[in-house]
Chains A and B, each alone.
Chain A
Amino acid sequence: MSLSNEEIRHIAKLARLHINEEEIEDYREKLGSILEYVEKLQELNTDDVPELQHAADVSNVLREDEIQGCESAVRKRAIDNFSNREGDLLKVQAVFEDRTE
């Protein structure tokens, strides 16, 4: 199982990972050997086997949807970890380009 350079670039884009052209060969080699190994699973016929979807034997654990707030020290620490801020707000680059067409 080997991946093309184009596939490596596509996956990196999906994963929002900047990779350099010179790293592509290493990804091809290392990911290729892992994908080759996991091909092993295709030996098994699993047509009638259910997927294991829940590791815990519980699903749909519900609670009231209530605003609980948090202590001011916790809030302050969370805000202090922001990379860039204006007052208490997280400041980011524009999500949508300014297009008028």
Chain B
Amino acid sequence: MDVSTMTIREAREKMEAGELTSEALVKSCLERIKADNDDLHIMLSVDEQALEQARKIDERRAAGESLGPLAGIPVALKDNLLVEGWEVTAAAQVLEGHISSYDATVVSRLKKAGAILIGRTNMDDAAMGSSTETSHYGPTKNPWDRTKVPGGSSGGSAAAVAAGFVPVALGSDTGGSVRQPASLCGVVGLKPTYGRVSRYGLIALASSLDQIGPLTRTVEDAATVLEVIEGRDEHDATSVELSNTTVPELLEKDLTGMTLGLPKEYFIEGMDPEVKKAVMEAVAELEHAGAKIVDVSLPHAEYALAAYYIIMPAEASSNLGRFDGLRYGYHSSGKDLQDTYSRSRGEGFGTEVKRRIMLGSYTLSAGYYDAYYRKALKVRSLIKKDFDEALKTVDAIVTPTSPSVAWGIGEKFNDPLTMYLSDIYTISANLATVPALSIPCGFSDGLPIGLQIMGKPFDEHTLLRIGAVYQQKTDWHTKTPA
């Protein structure tokens, strides 16, 4: 029995049937991590207590207790999610050695559902990056080709699932940081609607864009995890009370009666022809499953990246103001308090983080606020309106997740603008606050390609249904790296 490719559903069924214990499952995950993590550099730490937790779940199961939907399932967490008593660094030197004093809401919900928290995954420094190369602890390698990046910023979480370390990991997505690495690593990644999942206990990057989402092998598993972590939380005022949710009847229907839109602005120059081919084949598959395919227009698509690179650094520079070198994190003493602030921050933050703090401080500063920040918020309205209009005529919008497959480690590292362009298809969903799913849809030269499906706010159900039907008809998601 190969547990390294097992889905949550399979593991749960085997545990319920008494054919597998959580202890055996967790042990196998830990062995795989031990054997391959030195090279892949996916996990920043592994929790020694995981096996003990697994044994406890097995005992409770043996005693006939009613257990949660993730009972005994190993889960890895991006290193920007707080687990009480664990170190949490956001892969940033500025937080090295910091111990979380409380659980993030998603973490307490995972624990309540019986999940076994395995450890922390690598990421870009403070979630700023698209390749996991800016991590203070060094890059993660893509399990499909160890000379390539896994994408980012949740590169460790995507690679952990692709490498068979865990069946599920959580990531966070501000401009594509769950979906783009999911695409580059050949796994499923979901960015929920803004407000669906509580951000309490997530180290904030840009508060109006951030959402936590699952990375899994199947769409069905993503739905299972979403159901556990979603919903209103009094600690996050932007989280929303949900009336219904996602999982039931997912697998029962085809796509008859559904209309999917292809935005013409996304299928332009710059896209890898192999990516385009795989995406169009996936679209044909969805049409074959009963969906009607039409063209839609998102006229302001070409302005999304520019608006994002004003709004995100502006919010990030404000959020990172809390790193003062005093209450927590990296500390460097100066001659007075101001000097201590600027030394602690100047030494503790990495290059890309400082670049974005500078950018955000500039666009928010007196004399520039209107020209940059206010302008970007107006353009954000236009982008959201584009989605509102298009989604009046279609049930979901289908695009590539990333314009290219995984690139070489180091290739784009010193050219921030080129790096930013790798997120060109994912950032609009964050600006428009809509949900978006990435699923594997093919390969180019042995590297995975991702299909992105974006939908109406709080209509994750439709995205998951489309993704689940696609996975019933194809086997891309069952492929594993050699």
Contacts and interface: CB of A to CB of B under 8 A. Distances in A.
B309 to A, nearest CB: 6
B430 to A, nearest CB: 9
Contacts of A35: 359, 362
A81 B382 contact: no
Contacts of B165: none
B303 A77 contact: no
Interface residues on B, range: 35 or more
B433 interface: yes
Interface string B14-38: 0000000000000000000000000
- Majority SS of interface residues in chain A? loop
Interface string A78-91: 10111110000010
A55 B309 contact: no
B365 interface: yes
Interface residues on A, range: 35 or more
B381 A11 contact: no
A15 B84 contact: no
A93 B191 CA distance: 43
Interface in B354-406: 354-355, 357-362, 365, 371-372, 374-382, 384
A27 B342 contact: no
Contacts of B195: 55-58
Contacts of B84: 73-74, 77
B252 interface: no
Contacts of B349: 17
B377 A52 contact: yes
A14 B343 CA distance: 13
B359 A52 contact: no
Interface of B: 84-85, 98-102, 194-195, 208-209, 234, 237-240, 300, 302-303, 305-307, 309-310, 317, 321, 324-329, 331, 336-343, 345-347, 349, 354-355, 357-362, 365, 371-372, 374-382, 384, 416-417, 420, 433
Given A37-B305, A77-B84, A95-B337, 10 more contacts: A11-B361, A31-B358, A44-B300, A49-B379, A51-B374, A55-B194, A61-B238, A80-B99, A93-B340, A94-B336
28 contacts: A7-B362, A14-B361, A15-B345, A15-B360, A16-B321, A16-B324, A16-B345, A18-B343, A34-B417, A35-B362, A37-B305, A37-B417, A40-B303, A44-B379, A55-B208, A55-B238, A58-B195, A61-B238, A74-B101, A81-B98, A81-B99, A82-B327, A84-B326, A93-B340, A94-B336, A94-B337, A95-B337, A97-B336
Interface of A: 3, 7-8, 11-19, 27, 30-31, 33-35, 37-42, 44, 46, 49-58, 61, 63, 70, 73-75, 77-78, 80-84, 90, 92-95, 97
